[in-house]
Amino acid sequence: MAKKGESRAERRRAEALRPMPARDRTNAVLGAGLVAYLAILATMVAFDSYTFVLKSAVIPFLLAAAVLSQRFGGFVNDWAIFLGVVVWYDALRSAVYAVITHFQLPMYAVYAIDWERALCGGAIAPVVAQQWRAALGEPLWLDRFFVLLHASHFLVFLLFGFVLWMLRREAFRTYAAAMVAVLFLGLAVQLAVPTLPPWLAARDFGLLPPMPRLIDSVYNVHLPSLAKMFDINPIAAMPSLHAAMPVLCAAVALHYLGRRGLVVAAYAAGVCLAVVYLGEHYLVDVLAGIALSLAVYAGVRRWGEPATSLAAPNGISAERLALRPIAAAVALVLLAFGCGQLASAWLAPLPITRAFVERELVGRSPSAHYLLGRIALEEGDAEEARVQLTRALADLPGAEEQKVVRSFLEQAVRQAGELGAAATRLPALGAQPASP
């Protein structure tokens, strides 16, 4: 109520100095963040420039937003362990690939292709998408849009979690528990059944028609080092966590935010479409990721939904920092560092073994005999290499391919000749009397 004799200007100044209600403050912070995010995306598209932000680089911005909304203590208490687990998960992704390559664990491709054909009536969804793209004249604008969607999932799940925490704090713990379960269950399957994505099955092993990796074609122009970040584990197609993570966000949003969740659901559908269009996942990978996220979310809500947060939301001092979450987060970061060191020590080339070629490629890929010849050559079996590479000449009619095969065939023939000459000398050497 205005005081007697108070001018309009004085009333305005008093109104400006009055603390903003918690709800209005939350909406103001989220609104400003949304505007900034959309402005960044628009700038990237307008200037044909792409970049990528590591998950850990977003944390300071989330902290700043929590401070501006006067909820810093609650943010640290609720988010510290979750962010520590996310950092550890990122390190484990590279450690899993290092374990697969170091111990030459089996990797797979054919089962996913067979399931895809059974699901799609004999077709392969990424191949169909690439044919449709070619009919459009290979539209670069569409490639860029889908690449942007593909890359966004690495950050959107954190941004969505923050929005959820700001609007429905009691729902955040359910979301965080479900997301952690999705990430680690997906990682376990990727370790147990390392699966080649469509672009790799096509490009390196000839199991599918030629398929460009569109992510490389975009990022290698704008940010060449970016592809290495995405390829922490290039044989982790099943299940698609690119699909699972946004679908989990959509399920949570629809449950807790009502109609506002439709925006998140539309985004999730776009990401699922993008990964198939780009050749990063089969449709069966996407469906497996969706099934994983929905099953986990249903399980968390039914049997293990965390208790509702009881902390006050109104001020920085309203909730004291708890030491246990901070200590646990520090321990998780140190554990992540150890996993990173292990990954660096064990990382090896993709394990293209004889067993893999015979199980996955023979009778399915024209590259099978060429790879068997290369493997035999590396193992020192020159005669076997000569036989396999001779068969590869008939399987690979392209001029460049023939040139490569002939170079290895000449090497195999040369090694076989040297071994043959050495074998003919052995009896003569053995007949000489022993020296005194």
pLDDT category of residue 52 using cuts at 50, 70 and 90: very low
- In the chain, what percentage of residues exceed pLDDT 90? 45
Q: What average pLDDT score do residues 15-42 get?
A: 50
- Rounded to 10 degrees, what is the CA torsion of 212, 50, 252, 278? -10
pLDDT at 228: 46
Global pTM value: 0.81
pLDDT category of residue 73 using cuts at 50, 70 and 90: confident
> Could you give the 3-state DSSP secondary structure of residue 49?
coil
pLDDT at 18: 47
By CB atoms closer than 10 A (0-12, 13-18, 19+), residue 27 is: middle
Residue 409 confidence (pLDDT) above 50: yes
108 strand-pairing partners: 195
Rounded Cα distance, 310 and 321, in Å:
14
Higher pLDDT, 32 or 332: 332
Higher pLDDT, 29 or 316: 29
Q: What average pLDDT score do residues 72-95 get?
A: 90
Among candidate residues 353, 365, 354, 392, the one with its CA nearest the CA of residue 202: 365
pLDDT at 422: 43
pLDDT at 106: 94
Mean pLDDT (the chain) is: 81
| Helix, strand counts (H, E) of the chain | 19, 0
Residue 47 confidence (pLDDT) above 80: no
Residue 38 has a CB neighbour count (10 Å cut-off) of 10
Higher pLDDT, 29 or 162: 162
Integer CA distances (angstroms), 10 to 6, 17, 373, in order: 6, 11, 87
Higher pLDDT, 291 or 42: 291
Q: Where are the alpha helices (DSSP H) in 21-109?
A: 22-46, 55-68, 72-102
Rounded Cα distance, 164 and 149, in Å:
21
| pLDDT tens digits along 114-145 | 999 999 999 999 999 999 998 988 788 888 88
Q: What average pLDDT score do residues 240-258 get?
A: 95
Buried residues in 226-250 as b, exposed as e (16+ CB within 10 A): beeebebbbbbbbbbbbbbbbbbbb
What's the length of the chain?
A: 436
- Rounded to 10 degrees, what is the CA torsion of 88, 91, 97, 99? -70
pLDDT at 57: 66
Buried residues in 107-135 as b, exposed as e (16+ CB within 10 A): bbbbebbebbeeeeeeebbbbebbeebee
pLDDT at 282: 97
pLDDT at 61: 78
pLDDT at 207: 95
Q: What are phi and psi of 372, to 5 degrees?
A: -65, -35
Q: Where are the alpha helices (DSSP H) in 231-353?
A: 241-257, 261-277, 283-303, 323-346
Rounded Cα distance, 78 and 400, in Å:
58
pLDDT at 433: 37
| pLDDT tens digits along 348-403 | 888 899 999 999 999 999 999 999 999 999 888 888 988 899 999 888 888 888 89
**Residue 363 contacts by C-beta under 8 Å, 6 or more apart in sequence?**
none
Q: What average pLDDT score do residues 153-163 get?
A: 88
pLDDT at 7: 63
Residues 75 and 165 sit within 8 Å (Cβ to Cβ): yes
Rounded Cα distance, 360 and 367, in Å:
11
pLDDT at 148: 84
pLDDT at 105: 94
pLDDT category of residue 46 using cuts at 50, 70 and 90: low
Among candidate residues 279, 246, 228, the one with its CA nearest the CA of residue 155: 246
| pLDDT tens digits along 227-248 | 444 457 889 999 999 999 999 9
